Amino acid sequence: MSIAPIVLAGACVGAGATIIAGSLLPRTPDLRAALARLDGDSPATYAPGNRQGSRFGVPADLVGRIAATLRLARYREDLELVGEHPEDLAVRKVGYGLLGLLLPPLLAAMVAVLGMPIPFVVPAFVSLTFATALFFVPDVDLRRRATAARDQMRRAVCVYLELVALERAADAGAVEALERAASIGDSPAFVAIRDALLRAELAGRPPWQGLGELAEQIGVAELGDVADMMRLSGEDGAAVYSTLRARASSLRTQLLAADAAQANAASEHMVVPVALLGVAFMALIGYPAFARILFS
């Protein structure tokens, strides 16, 4: 049997694994993309992360076409929330798909070399199944990471509400209160809020407009509430201290209720494994007596 198919399959699997590993490694921020994010009139655009205009050996224009063909822009909210682009998701999906498509034939070829040939239909069916399943793994992972990041953003907004209220109680203006409160934290959520305020300032717009755009961009309505309240304070001179504190208390109650529901769900999920463990333990204890009665 020729080893050429084995070598080719191994090379393809290695290429897919390299693409996946490269997409998970941190990359150097691109200056053009950073400047685009600071531009209030144009959205952030994808730019390749290396000097050759390619991403992990794949040309940037090809990656862009793949992302457009797969319509990955529909995940833009989640991608913006985790600091990625549709092209990043496209690279991972293609890499995982290639890995799932080529790994079963490689294993089948290795087994055939050992003298145990497998019918062609079996690895072909397994390849299609694995490729389809692994192709959607990055989508599930993105949704999981976006959900966690959105929860963290809501918690940060709860703290931000309290800080803005304290700044307003200290007679700070609406703009000053938003900027001072954002400068206190150093978490990714506070960094995103500071970036939104900076973009609005560079564009000559009020800061609450930048917060509103960020809230719409990442799908966190609670941040939009902060923008609306501070807009009323900045434009109409409304007293928002009590409103900010009440909104923070309401959001904190919602977060605690969500945590309690998640803990209860986790406790309920543990009932089945514990019950199965108990049944297995009782079967282990009762098996000798049952075997003695049955076979004596």
69, burial (CB in 10 Å: exposed 0-12, middle 13-18, buried 19+): exposed
Average pLDDT, the chain: 79
pLDDT value at 77 more than 80? yes
Quote the pLDDT of residue 34. Answer: 55
Contacts of 214 (CB under 8 A, 6+ apart): 192, 193, 196, 220, 223
Q: How confident is the model over 212-221, as a mean pLDDT?
A: 88
pTM of the model: 0.66
What confidence tens digit (pLDDT) does each residue in 20-33 have? 665 555 555 555 55
Quote the pLDDT of residue 47. Answer: 33
Quote the pLDDT of residue 9. Answer: 57
Q: What is the phi-psi region of residue 71: left when phi exceeds 0, alpha when psi lies from -120 to 50, beta otherwise?
A: left
For the chain, the domains span: 4-135, 148-268
Q: How large a percentage of the chain has pLDDT more than 70?
A: 79
Quote the pLDDT of residue 198. Answer: 92
Quote the pLDDT of residue 53. Answer: 43
Q: Helix, strand, or coil here: 59?
A: strand
Lowest mean pLDDT among 40-49, 99-108, 155-164, 169-178: 40-49
